[in-house]
Amino acid sequence: MAYQLTADVSRFIESIDFPKVRSQTKVFTKSAAFISPILSNSDSYESSTVTKSSVIVLDRETLEKRLGESIAHRFQTTGIIKAFLSREWNSVKVSPNYLIKISDCSPDTLSSSIFARFSIWDGGKLVGDFAEPLRIGHFIDVLFSKTPLTRGVRLDSTQFESKPVDILKQHAGTVPANSNLNGYQLASSIKSNTPIKWNFLSKITLVKKGQIVDVFASGNGIYVTMKGMALENGVAGGNVTIKNLSSDKKFQAKVLNENSVKVHL
């Protein structure tokens, strides 16, 4: 059994005076939002405002660059296309999201002179329609001879270096730097630092008329070898007429090298 005792203990304790304290209540608000710091006097007011859409000037140089890119896309060309306006151009102010649409080019093939019809659009709105005569440059890397080369020499990549040229002008018909010249020889002698043109080259004759060659025939799981006679000269990778020495039958075969040809059954 529990007992509870009560008694007056105030007579054992001296009286205590508690000073009156003014209560202060602080309220804290928790938020998941990010609060940006207060700008100092040195910070620009514009940094706290929404940046306005910038405006660019579509001047002659900028327009020529964009027209060159558009023409390259239209004709699906490799290399670099440069377009040059043939008359004065009045600058136009547009946003960075403007578009140039080419509607027509005359002639409809890439040439050194083109008359282009195009329109400029900005934010889905038509800025204007234009028709301008253009001078066009088509620049690609082509092969130049490092040293003088004589007629009949077989060609390989070590004999040349590449340089960018405009193939629509005096360098028309030059050989692109990425061309494979295996199986070609020079048809005429050239000096050093000469741009190589296709009409300077001829394919090497590997198989000569009257020559006996090995004929490799395959197809439908069959593989046959035989001897044949070339009835004409044949160049690397080219087709040549062959006569079977056993049956005198004539057929077309592809030249593999100086001594053999291949035919598909």
pLDDT of residue 10: 46
pLDDT in tens, the chain (265 residues): 444 444 454 444 455 454 554 544 444 444 333 333 434 444 443 433 334 558 889 999 999 999 999 999 999 998 999 999 999 999 999 999 999 999 999 999 999 999 999 999 998 999 999 999 999 999 999 999 999 999 999 888 889 999 999 999 888 899 999 998 888 999 999 999 999 999 999 988 889 999 999 999 888 888 889 999 999 999 888 899 999 988 889 999 999 888 899 998 7
Which residue ranges make up each domain of the chain? Answer: 56-138, 140-203, 205-264
Q: Which residue has the tokens 């028709």?
A: 131
d(C-alpha 175, C-alpha 142), whole Å: 6
How far, in Å, are 57, 95, 102 from residue 92 at the CA level? 6, 10, 17
Burial of residue 21, with CB atoms counted within 10 A of its CB: 0-12 exposed, 13-18 middle, 19 or more buried: exposed
CATH number for the domain formed by residue range(s) 140-203: 3.90.1210.10
Contacts (Cβ under 8 Å, ≥6 apart) of 227: 212, 213, 214, 215, 245, 246
Sorted by sequence, the CB contacts under 8 Å of residue 102 that are 6+ apart come out as: 67, 70, 71, 74, 116, 117, 118
Question: What architecture is the 205-264 domain classified under in CATH?
Answer: Roll (2.30)
Predicted pLDDT at 3: 45
Q: How far apart are CA 202 and CA 184, in angstroms?
A: 6
